[in-house]
Amino acid sequence: MSISQQKHKILVVDDVKENRSIVKNILTLCNYEVQSASNGLEALQIVKTDNFDLILLDIMMPKMGGIEVCRYLKIDPETANLPVIFLTANTDKELLAKAYKVGGSDFIKKPFYKEELIARVQTRIKLRDYEKNLEETVRQRTQEIYETQTQLMYVLGGIVEGHSKETKEHVQRVTYFTYKLAILSGMSQEEANLLKDASSLHDIGKLGVADNILHKSGKLTKSEFKQMQQHPTLGANMLKHSKLPLFKAARIVAQEHHEKYDGSGYPKGLKGEDIHIYGRIVAIADVFDALSFKRSYKDGWNIEEILSFMKDMKGKHFDPRLIDIFLDNIEHFLKIYNINIEKIELDKKHNLKKKNSIVNWLMKWDI
C-alpha cells in the first residue's frame, strides 16, 4: 500500500478532555485515525508503541508542558522527524519563539475554527507524505546504486577469473569466508556486507600480470615471482580513482591481502595492525580457500594439513586474534565450504542435464 493510500495517524495531546474530544471528532470525520493523551508523559509513552504522522500538542499542561515534550521528541532519532503542531491559547511571542526553537512545525490558536484545524492538518500531512516519499525514493536510489556497484564488482571479478584461470567458485567462497569472519570478529552487519562484496576484487591486479606467468604450471622464477608480487599494487592503482565506498574498500583489500602480520608480506611489508583489518581478514579467507583446491602449480591440501599450517602461521602470516576466531569457529567455515561444494556439483549436474536435453532434441529431429 502506498503512503497516499494509508490512513494517517494523529496523536492529540491535551489535558482538557473536552478539547481532545472536539479535535478527535473533527479529524475522525476527515478519515484520520486519531489517538489521544491527557498529558506529556503519556504522549511520550504512546509514540513509542505506534507510528504517527502528526502530533497536535497543547503547550500549557501540568506535569510536562508541550515545549518540553517536543524537545524530547526531537532529540530521539525515532521521532525527530515527526511534525508537531502546537495548540495554544497563549500567543505570547517569547513562548511561540520557544515552540519553534524546539522543533515545532506550526501552531493553532485556541479557540480555533474547524476549517482552520482541518486545513493546517491537511497541509502538514501532505508535507509529511512528500518527505516520506522523498526518503523512500532516496533509499531506493541508494540501494540501486549499491547493487550496481556490487554487480560491477562481480563482473570485474569474473574478468579476473577468466584471465588468471582461477574459478568463479574461489571468488565466491572467499567472499563467504570473509563475511563470516568479519561478523565473528565483531564487525557490524553493514560493514561486513561491504567487505564481503569488496573482497570479490582481491585479485583484480592480476589483470596486469602477463599470461605466461599466471598460467605457468611449474614454480615461478625469482623474476617471475617479483612480477607476480606487483598485482596488489596494480589492483590498488586500478581502483584508486573511485570515491565510492565499495571501491574504496576493494582498493584496501586488493593492496593489502598479501601483507603478513610479521611484516614479511608484500607489496609494502606492513606489520601488525598497520595492515587494515580488511586486508587481515581477507588474507585468512584467501589462503584457506587457496590451499583447499588444486591449482596449476599445486595440489589441494587436506583439511588437517590446512588447519595445521594456519595455526603455525599465527602471528606470522595471520593476525593472532583473527586466526584464533577462525580456528575456534572452524565448523562455520567448513559448513560454508561443504554447502558450496554441493552447489558446484548441483550446477554441474544441471548443466549436464541441460546439455543432454539439447542433444536429445537434436537427435529427435535428425539434425
- Positions marked active-site: 206
The DSSP secondary-structure symbol of 104 reads -
H or E, element range at 109 = strand 106-109
Task: Report the 3 state secondary structure along 23-81.
Answer: HHHHHHHCCCEEEEECCHHHHHHHCCCCCCCEEEEECCCCCCCHHHHHHHHHHCCCCCC
- Residues 6 or more apart whose CB falls under 8 angstroms from that of 279 comprise 252, 253, 255, 256, 257, 259, 270
Q: How many CB atoms lie within 10 A of CB 345?
A: 10
C-alpha cell at 247: 571501491
Q: How many CB atoms lie within 10 A of CB 123?
A: 13
Helices 168-184/320-328 angle, 10° precision: 100
Q: Please give the Cα distance from 111 to 108 (Å, whole number).
A: 9
Q: Which residues of 208-230 are buried (b: 16+ CB within 10 A; e: fewer)?
A: ebeeebbeeeeeeeeebeeebeb
Q: Please give the Cα distance from 194 to 133 (Å, whole number).
A: 26
Radius of gyration of the chain (CA): 31
The DSSP secondary-structure symbol of 363 reads H
